[in-house]
Chains A and B, each alone.
Chain A
Amino acid sequence: MIRLLPWLYLAAAFAFIYLPVGALVLFSFQAGNLPVPPFNGPSTRWYADVLADDDLTGALANSLLVALGSSAVAVSLGFGAAYGLARHVLPGSALLRGLLIAPLTVSYLIVGLGLLIVLTRAGLGLSLWTAAIGHVVINLPLAFAILYASMGAQQQNAERAARDLGADEARVVLLVTVPMLMPAIAAAFFLSVTLSWDEFIIAFLLTRFDVTLPVEIWSMLRSGLSPRLNAIGSLVFLVSVTAVVILETLVFRKRRP
């Protein structure tokens, strides 16, 4: 009995962890109008319903746009900063690193609140652009930290060799550093996409008419439990899991060459 205890605990923990996700996915296939037991499916009517809803598909497209766009910007800026700080001697570089990492220590609500105050004071309208700006703020520190940590001596030697052979800095970066760091760049990008795709509070504070998917789901929540919400929630989960599996494969490959 005592030997079984750890395995029972493991099973109970997994049941707890998968209970909400399981209920979410199962009742997205509910045929009736309420996503509670008894299960009377399977039916794909709610998926059809969700995919035919222009508000939802519009919000989904907005989310993808914001996630891909803001991640591309965050990774580019993060790469530049990591390269500059790892390869050039700059005064106050410890302070600079701290400053670039700082947004990580502040909750998203506060990042969003600060931007909201400044944007409304400056008389700038809220839009998908402002939400994307906020997402770059929260993802830039992560991208920078990942890329800075991966800039090792190995790349530096290859960069020196390229420079000795007459390559200018642009060529060194584009033809040597970027290809060698591709796994880290991809990891930073996918992590960034996953976080931005899911992010609610900044998008909620900084968008107005065009909204991202989590904000659209939020407004649907007011009408209570519905299998439609289950269906859209399951689709969101599927996208996140796909991104995570891609990320995991990349990191996995890097660790075991």
Chain B
Amino acid sequence: MTARAERMRGWGFVAPALIWTLAFFVVPFLVMGAMSLATLEGRTLVWGVSLANYAELTEKAYLWRAILVSLEITLTVTVVSVLLAYPLASIIAFRVPPRWQRLALLLAILPFWTSYVVRSYAWLLVLAREGVVNQALIGLGLVSEPVTLANTRFATVTGFVHFFVMLLTLTIYANLIQLSPNYRRAATDLGASAFQTFRHVTLPLALPGIVTGAFLTFVLCIGDYVTPQILGGNTELTVPQVIMVQLGRRADFPLASALAIVLMGIVTLAYLASARWLRLDRL
């Protein structure tokens, strides 16, 4: 077989996937980019190169506010999830006997596979006025009246943290389990306290797992529409919620596209900030 024929055959295998990705991902993406530069005059779409939609983001308070709300929620969720997931992953990796570890990990992340919509609904159920948490608090005599938990930012953050603790436990565990116990033994032999061993040995080595999980958390959290929509009430809107409002009520595709591009810009910045430690290929 000549090199040329061989290459043609290779293309034959790659072509279907390539054409699919170009037609249904790259082209829509480029059209969306062009759409973000178009404008809406009345109800008709005018193609062109205008930065009016991006200017609107800085001029209209509710759009700017949505970007801030999204960032605040996402950063809170990322930090809280890392702080909760690290001890969990560490206990499973270092305390649970090896033969039970796989089972413990599987159990720890099983609810991860509940559908997004169902999981948020389940939290609504737990946090509702008459829900499990309020009934427990009243039963314990901690409060006398039900506390408003659902339809708040607290509920959104709780729903997110629940999901991302599981994701982060997985990435951090995968990292910790690869570390040789000899490193920690050596540190202890050299007189390091438990905290010093953690601070100077385990934590730096676990950083790729933590950063990879934190990056995924950031990306998935900031792009999610379902959790804030179900749990957050409508007191404050995130960027994905504002995008959906543009699509529904006003059919303002140009503004929705501009918001989507901004969202991608934020994700790109997060990627650049964490690229040094990212190990996406190891997942």
Is B21's CB under 8 angstroms from A103's CB? yes
Q: Is the CB of B220 within 8 A of A107?
A: yes
Beyond A96-B14, A200-B117, A230-B125, whether A114 also contacts B31 by CB under 8 A is yes
**Residues A236 and B20 in contact in the complex (CB < 8 Å), given A21-B122, A121-B31:** no
Count of chain B residues with Cβ under 8 Å from any Cβ of A?
77
Given contacts A21-B114, A108-B223, contact A84 B24 (CB under 8 A): no
Q: What does DSSP make chain A's interface, helix, strand, loop or mixed?
A: helix
A113: nearest chain-B partner, CB-CB: B260
Beta-carbon nearest neighbor of B254 in chain A = A117
Q: Which of A13, A233, A252 contacts B88 (CB 8 A)?
A: A13
Q: What are the residues of chain B within 8 A of A36 when measuring CB–CB?
A: 125, 128, 130-132, 135
Output the least CB separation between B256 and chain A (Å): 6
CB pair A118–B31 under 8 Å, yes or no, is: yes
Question: In this assembly, does A209 line the interface, its C-beta being within 8 Å of a C-beta of chain B?
Answer: no
- Chain A residues near B10: list those with CB within 8 A: 84-85, 87-90
Q: Chain B residues in contact with chain A, CB under 8 A? A: 6-7, 9-18, 20-22, 24-29, 31-32, 35, 84, 87-88, 91-92, 95-96, 102, 106-108, 110-111, 113-119, 121-126, 128, 130-132, 135, 162, 165-166, 219-220, 222-226, 230, 240, 243, 247, 253, 256-257, 260, 263-264, 267, 271
Interface residues of chain A, those whose CB is within 8 Å of chain B, are 6-7, 9-10, 13-14, 16-21, 23-24, 27, 34-37, 76-78, 80-81, 83-85, 87-91, 96, 99-100, 102-103, 105-111, 113-118, 121, 133-134, 136-137, 140, 144, 169, 194, 197-198, 200-201, 205, 214, 217-218, 221, 225, 229-230, 233, 236-237, 240-241, 243-244, 248, 252
Give 18 CB contacts A-B under 8 Å: A13-B87, A13-B88, A13-B108, A13-B165, A20-B119, A77-B20, A80-B17, A83-B13, A85-B10, A87-B10, A90-B11, A99-B21, A105-B219, A110-B29, A113-B247, A117-B35, A137-B21, A140-B17
